[in-house]
Chains A and B, each alone.
Chain A
């Protein structure tokens, strides 16, 4: 049904022209590419309380186990431990520090046997902060007990089974510590450097920086 009013018809046609304008090709895909790139770099924000509580726990655990580890490191052949943390290659999906593994890590990974740990069944899609904290407590506990492999396995579970997002920075730092203590200082340094590069403003950056080899 047409309208006799030419002004109205002109208006209708102008708006039709606007509606028919094609969205630039692949524009939405470009947004998604940018979103994926962005998702690889940021560390989710934590509440101040969560950050400090975890930092405090990590510091206490580190201090409490430093002497113990120092005694055992000369005896244990820790460097021979398989590093699940270095499984950042094709088999693994989500690294703790979300960025491509540097060459140093890749080269060490090729020398390290794959982990034999069997991850727990896949968690539900919704993982609470409490779940993530629990996983990291396990890792911290293992680290404080000198069980570096256990810590790395727990961190693998955090990364790949829980697919944790809320405590990734803390998980990354625990992984760096576990790697360092297990003698894989090169990998620890590379991950620490990645952490510092991608999270320069993080309150954990200074701690990570201390693992970077000069």
Chain B
């Protein structure tokens, strides 16, 4: 399965910015303050946490933990590895949080779906998207941890393999093969779940 790669939405304002080097985009000054760090990386952290199976509200709580940790260590964070730092911290926080959350759920709660359904757009469309996110979360939850991580980075964050390798601290070749395997696993699970296709239009 070969999925498209699009430019990355990185900052909170939704500005499109293609991050070429993990950590800081070209021409972008490193974060000097927690405000800058949050503005640059909040969306990335929150979405990655969602991709790792946390509900919207849990992802928000976890993101807050991530930035509280980052704030304490702001002086020692290498400016070229801010993104890597918040990603690694997010992994750690999510792992801890999921230990407790797993007993309750692996997929978004109903109120997440309701919240999404109440977002802008037609109710049908929003419900469709919310159901799609539920299905995606269920499938991702069935993937091995390592596969899930690289798939989230590649397909949701749309990072290139070298960037994934950098964040995961693995060789590029390992990242590539891990991603290839993850896509195969994802496709197999998707085939098994295709009768639950949430999209009413032709797919």
Residues of A within 8 A of B (CB): 5-15, 17-24, 27-28, 30-32, 34-35, 38-39
Contacts and interface: CB of A to CB of B under 8 A. Distances in A.
Interface string B39-55: 10011001100110000
Contacts of B175: none
Interface residues of B, number: 45
- Among A18, A30, A34, max chain B CB count under 10 A is at A18
The A interface is mostly helix, strand or loop, or mixed, namely helix
A13 B132 contact: yes
Contacts, number: 106
B42 A21 contact: no
7 contacts: A6-B203, A7-B1, A17-B129, A21-B129, A21-B133, A24-B57, A35-B71
Q: Lowest 7 CB-CB distances: which A-B pairs, in order?
A: A17-B132, A28-B42, A14-B136, A15-B155, A17-B129, A35-B34, A18-B156
A23 B187 contact: no
A31 B9 CA distance: 20
Contacts of A28: 12, 38-39, 42-43
A211 to B, nearest CB: 29
A28 B64 CA distance: 8
B122 interface: no
A15 to B, nearest CB: 4
Nearest to A21: B133
B69 to A, nearest CB: 11
B63 interface: yes
Contacts of B35: 32, 35
Contacts of B63: 27, 31
B6 to A, nearest CB: 8
B129 A20 contact: yes
Nearest to A28: B42
Contacts of A31: 38, 42, 63-64, 67
Contacts of A23: 12, 42-43, 46-47
B187 A21 contact: no
B15 interface: no
A35 B67 contact: yes
Nearest to B193: A10
A13 B64 contact: no
Contacts of B34: 32, 35, 39
Contacts of A8: 1-3, 187
B65 to A, nearest CB: 10
A39 B38 CA distance: 15
B116 interface: yes
A18 B133 CA distance: 6
B119 interface: yes
A56 B146 CA distance: 52
A17 B108 CA distance: 14
A18 B56 contact: no
Interface string B152-167: 0001101000000000
B21 interface: no
Interface in B63-117: 63-64, 67-68, 71, 115-116
B182 to A, nearest CB: 12
Given A23-B47, A28-B39, A35-B34, A9 B60 contact: no
A11 B190 contact: yes
B91 to A, nearest CB: 18
